[in-house]
Amino acid sequence: MPAHVHILGICGTFMGGLAVLARAAGYRVTGCDAGVYPPMSEQLAALGVELIEGYDADQIRLAPDVWVIGNVIKRGNPLMEAILERGERFVSGPEWLASEILFGKWVLAVAGTHGKTTTSAMLAWILEHAGKAPGFLIGGVPANFGVSARPGAGGVFVIEADEYDTAFFDKRSKFVHYRARTAILNNLEFDHADIFGDIADIERQFHHFVRILPRTGKILANASDPALARVLAEGCWTPLERFGAPEDWAARADADDAGAFDVQWQGDTLGRVRWSLAGAHNRMNALAAIGAARHAGVEPRLACEALGRFEGVRRRMELRGTVHGIAVYDDFAHHPTAIRATIDGLRARCNGARILAVLEPRSNTMKAGVMKDALPHSLDGADLVFVHAAGLAWDPVGVLAPLGARVQCHPDLDALAAAIVRAARPGDQILVMSNGSFGGLHGRLLERLALAGGDTDQGQVRPGR
């Protein structure tokens, strides 16, 4: 009989991906969550994973070989208390992943405050294109694969390396468990104010990660990030390459062709990328992925070719539909730096069209207002700004006053959708940004726009890719 794991918090992106990997590795997998919700619940059920709603202590009768604990679980959870009371064997999700899935593999880990998901997806696709059949666990769904996790048939594994804490009983960042050989350090800014007191706390965790990288490994680090410079100055025992630096990895973009750039290493051009992505941040992501892939044996020329066929990641500038000439995009951006980069990226490719930025400040850090003062600058590139002003510990009207008449704040979601539809006109680009589902706002907007256009052909919804 196969070993049995029961996963607490199974419907989260990371733990759900872990369940997919465990099932593929031959384990019997069951799990529970406070909300057994789609799409993860549907994906897991299709794999034969038994899902249980809630954390009732009676689940102790399942008697798995090991309980795998997600970081959503806290003391006081009825099932966790029963596990502790009975002295059952339990491990954190990252610890189980490291010992049962990653051990013995060439792990390529992508860390940083921003861009982890997109860069991980780029790297996995480059390795796939090169015939290396990588495994991966990514916090989003790469369009080239259609799944967020798979075991892979080769000996390489790409993982999105999160700095969030591991579990209630292990406050180290998840990424210290993964024993990476190749590491990308994309950037480092303050985030996760619910677990970190300041940026120095996060830098300390990043240096824990750097300390355990082997001498035969490779670090690809953002050359322009001062926090990463401080981390590496504390000690680095692994060969280092920097991206975004003319002396190492650099991108030379064409002024007349936003969809193409040359990839240079120490001044020599090694390849050219032609793709549909926009923005300097995506070129930086690409350089990091190309450099990491080279360490794993993929020539930059082949990596550039792969990126020309890269289809992006769901919820990263994903076109959800176009109606009445108005495009509605979905993006995961929720940190001020990511918000600005996302708006700038859309601006670079929208040929002068108006951008209507719609923001849900949903993360714990944003709700608390830790970075609220940076929001006017991050949203300044939009023509109009709409903010869902619900559940915030700060006054968005006052904070966003520097944007003047361009901004509207609505605590009610229906009122917000109505205001956006009233303001929209043909040719507009509506950019919806949230790290959650935003109450299905994308669908609401497309439906309201279609109704506003009547029954004409022009008013019919054309879905995105």
Q: Up-side HSE of residue 171: CA atoms within 13 Å toward CB?
A: 6
Is the pLDDT at 465 greater than 70, yes or no?
no
Asked if residue 252 and residue 129 are part of one domain, the reply reads yes
Assigned domain for 73 exists: yes
Residue 426: band (very low, low, confident or very high) from pLDDT cuts 50, 70, 90: very high
Residue 38: band (very low, low, confident or very high) from pLDDT cuts 50, 70, 90: low
Assigned domain for 99 exists: no
Which of residues 362 and 404 earns the better pLDDT score? 404
Q: What is the pLDDT of residues 292-342, one digit of tens each?
A: 999 999 999 999 999 999 988 877 778 888 988 899 988 877 778 788 888
Asked if residue 288 and residue 175 are part of one domain, the reply reads yes
pTM for the model stands at: 0.79
Asked if residue 349 and residue 271 are part of one domain, the reply reads no
Assigned domain for 377 exists: yes
Asked if residue 297 and residue 153 are part of one domain, the reply reads yes
Asked if residue 322 and residue 280 are part of one domain, the reply reads no
How many domains are contained in the chain?
A: 3
User: Which pLDDT belongs to residue 457?
Assistant: 34
Where is the domain boundary, 29, 63, 92?
92
What would the mean pLDDT of 447-463 be, rounded to a whole number? 58
User: Which pLDDT belongs to residue 374?
Assistant: 85
Where is the domain boundary, 63, 92, 121?
92
Instruction: Say which CATH number the domain at 191 has.
Output: 3.40.1190.10
Asked if residue 291 and residue 347 are part of one domain, the reply reads no
User: Which pLDDT belongs to residue 324?
Assistant: 83
Assigned domain for 254 exists: yes
Assigned domain for 84 exists: yes
Asked if residue 287 and residue 144 are part of one domain, the reply reads yes
Least confident interval from 37-51, 271-285, 400-414: 37-51
Asked if residue 204 and residue 155 are part of one domain, the reply reads yes
Residue 217: band (very low, low, confident or very high) from pLDDT cuts 50, 70, 90: very high
* Boundaries of domain holding 58: 4-92
Where is the domain boundary, 41, 72, 92?
92
Instruction: Report percent pLDDT > 90 for the chain.
Output: 61
Asked if residue 118 and residue 230 are part of one domain, the reply reads yes
Least confident interval from 56-65, 99-108, 172-181, 185-194: 185-194
Asked if residue 349 and residue 438 are part of one domain, the reply reads yes
Asked if residue 361 and residue 268 are part of one domain, the reply reads no
User: Which pLDDT belongs to residue 256?
Assistant: 62
Asked if residue 390 and residue 301 are part of one domain, the reply reads no
Q: What is the pLDDT of residues 73-122, one digit of tens each?
A: 999 999 999 999 999 999 999 999 999 999 999 999 999 988 899 999 99
